[in-house]
Structure 1
Amino acid sequence: MGYKSSPRPVFDRPTHIPYAEVTRHVWGDAGAGLVDDLIYASTDKIHQLVFGLAGGTGFKHSEDYRTVFGADEVLYVLSGTFGAANPETGEVRIVQEGEAIFFRKDTWHHGFSLSDKPVRVLEYFSPPPSTGASGVYARTRPYLEQSTYRQERFIGRWPMAADEEKQTATIKTLRDVDLLWELDPEDQGVITGLYAATEHLESGKTTVLPGRKSSMITRKGDECLYVLSGCLHVLCPDREGQVWFELNPGDGFFFPDGARHQYANLRGEPASFVFGVGPGLGDKGA
């Protein structure tokens, strides 16, 4: 069976996406491996999913499933130890739970569970597949015939060449110390660290402390989020019908371009979530 595109769930208004209702999809073949996707949203501006790998398994690429796309991507590790590799350059990144990676257009990538435990990874992708940036784009790229997981050019120069390796890396590892941090202008108990802020994708992690709430937010692109921990309340004041939503870990939420919204924490523990906005053009303001 050849390449088959993934489902593309879309929404026309602010929408709560409970974990139990997320669209399921499996992709791959004997050459690429099999990957279990949970696709939260796939609009014409943003693509959010969680993919899973069984312990000790991984994905590579094949003629039908070429893992090189025309998009900016952020991958955040939800659980397990994830090995991310660029098989063209030999780069390898070991990414633990709570850490992320970022890479840009035309970056070949493979992924592996580096223990006997499953790996779950949250992924943001923009421009999204609906624009032709995934499988359609991949089939236009020269096929990578051989894969390597070793950077030979640094052998004999390590660790003296560590700065060069960091500057030329196609896959960036992002830990909390690497994020671009900011505080909400109205309530400094809402803390955000950005993983990426490019022309295509803005992605970050936000923590709302107990009893705090964000300013009213309006984005210039579609936004989708994933709750990591705690209980997050979302207000969509202009939505018809229900305007308050309660989100728990594993739930998602989608906001179309221009939809006003606010985050609040009405419980006694911090609430944290990761978000992606496409295109990455910042806020319009309230």
Structure 2
Amino acid sequence: MKTINDFIGHWPQGLEEARKEKRHVHIPKEKALTVIHGKENKTKFTFYISTDRCHMGKFEICAGKHSDPEIHKGDEVLMILKGRLQIMVLNELEDETAVSRKAYEVNEGEKFIIPEGYKHQYFNLGKGMTEALFAIAPGL
């Protein structure tokens, strides 16, 4: 039986064949890959594309909730579609016991870039659902 790990990095199915045949791929809404991510704080992620080269999709965080901390092997670009998001960026310093934390508030329509290798976490401090479009390249 296939697990989500069989699809992350290989979505949409058939993309590798389309590359070889030099043809385009249309991804309607119903062909998106929806997953629940996080061990402690469950967050809904919808991947429109997840390949060896890039990842793009949308995530949703309910009012008053937050995501688990995460780190990526590529730069991440966010665009807030609905609501506002607080992004906590953790930067480990030379002293292993010291951690610098910066919080950024990103409002609807605004964009935010998180460089590769920075641990970060999303918080919805608003009263409604927050939705954000994300793109990560090259690695998740």
1:22-61 matches, within 5 Å, as none
How far has the Cα of 1:106 moved from its partner?
A: 9.8
The 2-side partners of 1:245 and 1:260 are apart by 14
In terms of fraction of residues, the more strand-rich structure is: 2
Residue 207 in 1 paired to residue 60 in 2? yes
Q: Which runs of 4+ in 1 moved over 6 A?
A: 103-107, 239-242
SS of residue in 1 equivalent to 2:117: coil
Structure 1, unmatched stretches of 5+, are 1-102, 108-168
Residue matched to 2:136: 277
SS of residue in 2 equivalent to 1:237: strand
2:127 corresponds, among 268, 272, 283, to 268
2:85 corresponds, among 232, 241, 246, to 232
Aligned residues: 116
SS of residue in 2 equivalent to 1:243: strand
Residue matched to 1:170: 24
1:1-286 matches, within 5 Å, as 170-175=24-29, 177-185=30-38, 186-188=40-42, 190-238=43-91, 243-279=102-138, 281-282=139-140
Structure 2, unmatched stretches of 5+, are 1-17, 93-98
How far has the Cα of 1:105 moved from its partner?
A: 9.5
Assess, with a 3 A threshold, how the Cα gap between structure 1 residues 104 and 273 changes in structure 2: closer, same or farther. farther
Residue matched to 1:117: none
Assess, with a 3 A threshold, how the Cα gap between structure 1 residues 105 and 208 changes in structure 2: closer, same or farther. farther
TM-score (norm 2): 0.74
How far has the Cα of 1:277 moved from its partner?
A: 0.6
The 1-side partners of 2:19 and 2:127 are apart by 39
TM-score (norm 1): 0.37
Deviations for 1:171-224, whole angstroms, at most 9, x for unmatched residues? 31331x221111122212x21000111111111100011111001010011111
SS of residue in 1 equivalent to 2:65: coil
The answer to whether the 8 A contact 2:44-2:59 is kept is: yes
The 2-side partners of 1:106 and 1:238 are apart by 43
Percent identity between the two aligned chains: 27
The 2-side partners of 1:251 and 1:217 are apart by 21
The 2-side partners of 1:173 and 1:196 are apart by 8
| Higher RCO structure, 1 or 2 (CA under 8 Å, sep 6+) | 2
The 2-side partners of 1:183 and 1:217 are apart by 14
How far has the Cα of 1:242 moved from its partner?
A: 7.0
